[in-house]
Amino acid sequence: MLDRPTVARVELDWAGPERLTMNMGPQHPSAHGVFRAVVTLEGETVVAVDAVIGYLHRCHEKLAETLTYAQYPSIASKTDYVAAMTSEFAYVLAAEEIGKVEVPKRAQYLRVICAELQRIASHLLWLGTWCMDMGGALGGGATIFLYAIREREDILDLFESLVGARLLYGFFQVGGVRYDIPNGWVAQCRATIDRIDQRLGEYEQMLEQNPFFLARAKDVGVISRELAEDVGIAGPLLRGSCVPYDLRRAAPYSSYEDFDFRIPVETDGDCFARYRVRMVEFREASKIVRQALDTLPGGPISSRPALKSVAQIRIPKGESYARVEGPRGEVGCYMIADGSAKPYRMKWRGASFSNLSILPHIIPGHKVADVVAIMGSVDPVFGEVDR
């Protein structure tokens, strides 16, 4: 069915509905990566979506069996490359859980700060690309995209001062983190988040009551509460459908219980609700960063001696599943350790992979233009999907 020769003409049959099979992707300006959606159209309405993934498969799970605990966190960044720290976080948490490794308080706070900054950066990219999908690369969408990227660059500058890299870090390490904050970083961080909070007000002003934006986002892609709980999605998709589940509250890790923040929950379940959830998450994330910076304790940044050789970290036998609340949902790492320097098996639960399974449920019935709006609000990153 998928290999229909394209030379055939499309016969328009006025007597009845003609179903057109259209291919969106894998190379497509708004596929958010390499994603192929074979949509079946009746006129302008989508009646079926067939998602084809796997174009970005890079054998991460096998790679984890051949790389040691010291080497793999740098590679883990590449699954969710937009929010790279999330995957590293899940991996080291799993290793630490099996090995019962203590993480010093300062390292935990640094992890929280970086994870929340990463959340802000990832949501900025989401906002930009979603509006660009809806508004076109030559139009208002591109304007919001450039504003969002302008703010994201400031956060990436922060990471560059801390780690040396902008996109793929290698910041986490079993037992703590690899880098401590340099002088002047705290001030730069505070200035950056203040500026971003203020600019966010501008974007909300541009979008919130904008009739064109509301026409595209309201009542589009509604996920009912039952569907959300059945299908197994996570993250803002879940919280936009009235399920108040956030791992930072439900199963706190890395000192998240020390911070005071609220979990935004919206009841409508449409794209606009998910947009509201993420906009509130921006502000809550900057609240957490400010609290963490204010109460940052002193002390070491790692409980294990500094990395001097590749097989230095050995985790005893055991298995665990560690999960973090990434910007896209629950990123989980299931690990079986066998006492050596490499895990016996490591499996990723990709947040976007599970979130994509909602698409065949909510897209049919909408128009073609809504497909990109819904995909944008689901916010997949295909490094996580295909691993």
Partner 1 sequence: MASDLAMIVPAVLRAMGATFKNFFRKPITVHYPDRPRIYPNRYRGLLALTYDKETGEENCIGCRLCEYVCPPAVIKVEMLKAPKRNFAKTFTLELYACEFCELCVQVCPTDAIIMMKSFDLSTADRREMLLDKDRLHAIGQQHEPSWATGNLLRDMQTPPKAAAPAHAKPAVPPPAQSQSGADAVGPRETA
Partner 2 sequence: MASPLALPAPLALLALPALPAWVILLIAPFVLLNVILGLVTYITLLERKFAARMQSRIGPYRVGPHGLLQPIADAIKLMMKEDIVPNAADRPIYNLAPIVFLIPCMLIFATIPFAPGLGVGDVNIGILFFLAVSSMEIVGLFMAGWGSNNKYALLSAMRAVNQIISYDLPFIFSALVPVLLTGSLKLGDIAAAQQGSLLRWFIFYPVIGQLSFIMFVVSTLAAENRVPFDILEAESELVAGFRVEYSGMKFALIQLGEYAHMIGSSFLGALLFLGAWSGPGPEYLGPAWFLLKMLFMFLLVTWIRWSFVRIRVDQILALSWKALLPATLALLVSTAVVVVWRTNGF
Quick one: which of 17, 19, 22, 299 contacts partner 2 (CB under 8 A)? 22
**DSSP single-letter state for residue 181:** P
Q: Which span (117-125, 155-163, 280-288, 325-333) binds partner 1, by CB under 8 A?
A: 155-163
Cβ-based nearer residue to partner 2, 89 or 213: 213
Distance CA 36, CA 34 (A): 7
Q: Is 360 helix (H, G, I), strand (E, B) or coil?
A: helix
Q: Please, which residue, 214 or 306, has the CB nearer to partner 2?
A: 214
Say whether residue 297 binds partner 1 (CB under 8 A): yes
Nearer to partner 1, 303 or 320 (CB): 303
3-state per-residue secondary structure call for 221-279: CCCCHHHHHHHCCCCHHHHCCCCCCCHHHHCCCCCHHHCCCCCCCCCCCCHHHHHHHHH
Total of residues contacting partner 1 (CB under 8 A): 58
Asked if 364 interacts with partner 2 (CB under 8 A), we say no
Residues in the chain: 387
104 binds partner 1 (CB under 8 A): yes
Tell me phi and psi for residue 200, to 5 degrees: -60, -35
Q: Which residue lies nearer to partner 1 by CB, 58 or 262?
A: 58
Q: Is 359 in the site for partner 2 (CB under 8 A)?
A: no
Q: Where are the alpha helices (DSSP H) in 21-180?
A: 60-66, 72-76, 84-99, 105-135, 140-162
How near is the Cβ of 308 to partner 1 at its closest, in Å? 6
Q: Interface with partner 1 by CB under 8 A: which range of 22-30, 38-46, 172-180, 226-234? A: 172-180
d(CA 167, CA 87): 13
Give the C-alpha separation, 283 to 32, whole Å: 25
Residue 57 contacts residue 362 (beta carbons within 8 Å)? no
Q: Regarding beta strands 172-173 and 45-52, do their DSSP bridges make them parallel or antiparallel, or are they unpaired?
A: unpaired
Are the beta carbons of 376 and 357 closer than 8 angstroms?
no
Minimum CB distance to partner 1, residue 69 (Å): 12
Say whether the peptide bond before residue 360 is cis (omega within 30 degrees of 0): no
Give the C-alpha separation, 43 to 289, whole Å: 49
Please report whether residue 138 would count as binding partner 1 according to CB under 8 A. no
Q: Is 112 in the site for partner 1 (CB under 8 A)?
A: no
Closest distance of CB 139 from partner 2, Å: 3
Identify residues 74-133 at the interface with partner 2 (CB under 8 A): 131-133
Residues 209-238 that bind partner 2 (CB under 8 A): 210, 212-213, 215-216
Binding site for partner 1 (CB under 8 A): 67, 70-72, 74-75, 104, 140, 143, 147, 150, 153, 157, 160-165, 168, 170, 173, 176, 178-188, 190, 202-203, 205-211, 296-303, 305-310
Binding site for partner 2 (CB under 8 A): 6-7, 9-10, 20, 22, 24, 28-30, 44, 131-143, 146-147, 150, 206, 210, 212-213, 215-216, 367-372
